[in-house]
Amino acid sequence: MTADATFWDRIADRYAARPVKNMTAYEQTLERTRAYLRDTDTVLELGCGTGTTALRLAGDAGQITATDIAPRMIAIARGKIAAQGADNVAAEVATAHDAPVPARGYDAVLGFNYLHLLPDMEETLARVHAMLRPGGLFISKTVCLGAAPHLRALIWVMQRLGKAPHVRFLDVATLEAAIAAQGFEIVETGDYPARPVSRFVVARKAEARG
Ligand SMILES: C[S@@+](CC[C@H](N)C(=O)[O-])C[C@H]1O[C@@H](n2cnc3c(N)ncnc32)[C@H](O)[C@@H]1O
């Protein structure tokens, strides 16, 4: 496993036990996401953690494949899926680079609290674009910490101690430019919450021409 996969695996049980930090922002994120999903959609979630969001959206999609790099996160997600009897949700250990892709592509790919953790965000965005059908949606929410020199120094120390994963200090303009650079049209944005900015972005892959 990569160092990041090991980190997230180790903290999975603690992560599962932690309550959602900002419930209002979480519910807004779910509500805006639901507005774009249809009950026939085939959906991939990347960086799903313990599957909470996939389960909350299960009634709004046809099929959801929830994926995460950390096996322990997926083990917990599978337990929750079985407990809820959500037969249209599956959980798999995978990243954007090895997730299964249906022949016609996904209708939607979701990535919440995920993009800022990637050492290869641009390559991942290119991969997400390739996995979507024409007209498909990439729906994400990403904390944008800006320059934040003190926090950056603190995280640097914690990373050296194995107590923090890779974290990218993004700003909103950089995030949105990186998404648009892959050929997406950004169709909706929001800040849930506004501080620190957690940028909700709905991005559409262009329809096929002709
Ligand atoms: C902050 S948690 C967010 C979990 C969930 N999406 C949520 O909003 O609660 C980040 C998740 O991303 C996963 N992750 C980190 N790097 C990843 C990668 N390269 N590919 C897939 N998942 C990754 C971690 O294992 C962790 O479960």
Domain count, the chain: 1
Cα 10 to middle of ligand 1, angstroms: 13
Residue 12 C-alpha from the chain's centroid: 16
Phi/psi for 11 (5° steps) reads: -95, 5
Residue 96 · residue 46 · CB < 8 Å? yes
**CB of 94 sitting under 6 A from ligand 1:** no
Residue ranges making up the domain that contains 61: 3-205
pLDDT, tens digit (0-9, with 9 covering 90-100), for 148-163:
889 999 999 999 998 9
Arithmetic mean of pLDDT over the chain: 96
Average pLDDT over residues 82-111: 98
Would you state the pLDDT for residue 209?
72
**CB of 99 sitting under 6 A from ligand 1:** no
Q: Is residue 61 part of a domain?
A: yes
Q: Is residue 117 part of a domain?
A: yes
Tokens of 14: 């603690």
Name the closest-CA residue to atom 26, ligand 1. 49
Cα 109 to middle of ligand 1, angstroms: 14
Q: What is the CATH number of the domain that holds 46?
A: 3.40.50.150
Cα-only R_g, the chain: 16
Query: Worst-scoring range by mean pLDDT, 47-51, 111-115, 147-151?
Result: 147-151
Query: Worst-scoring range by mean pLDDT, 38-47, 91-100, 142-151, 171-180?
Result: 142-151
Would you state the pLDDT for residue 113?
97
Give the C-alpha separation, 162 to 4, whole Å: 10
**CB of 140 sitting under 6 A from ligand 1:** no
Would you state the pLDDT for residue 148?
87
Query: Worst-scoring range by mean pLDDT, 37-51, 98-112, 152-166?
Result: 152-166
Would you state the pLDDT for residue 1?
86
At residue 104 the predicted structure's pLDDT band, cuts being 50, 70 and 90, is: very high
Predicted model pTM: 0.97
User: Residue 16: exposed, middle, or buried by beta-carbon count in 10 A (0-12, 13-18, 19+)?
Assistant: middle
Is the pLDDT at 8 greater than 80, yes or no? yes
Residue 194 C-alpha from the chain's centroid: 18
Q: DSSP label at 145?
A: -
Q: Is residue 83 part of a domain?
A: yes
Strands 106-112 and 42-46, how do they pair?
parallel
**CB of 112 sitting under 6 A from ligand 1:** yes
Would you state the pLDDT for residue 156?
95
pLDDT, tens digit (0-9, with 9 covering 90-100), for 129-146:
999 999 999 999 999 998
Q: DSSP label at 125?
A: H
Q: Is residue 210 part of a domain?
A: no
Asked if omega into 134 is within 30° of 0 (cis), the reply is no
First to last CA, the chain: 44
Residue 200 · residue 138 · CB < 8 Å? no
Where helices occur in the chain by DSSP H, the ranges are 3-17, 23-34, 52-56, 71-84, 121-131, 149-160, 172-180
Q: Strands of 63-68's sheet, edge to edge? A: 89-93, 63-68, 42-46, 106-112, 132-143, 198-205, 184-191
Q: Is residue 153 part of a domain?
A: yes
Tokens of 190: 């929001």
Would you state the pLDDT for residue 210?
62
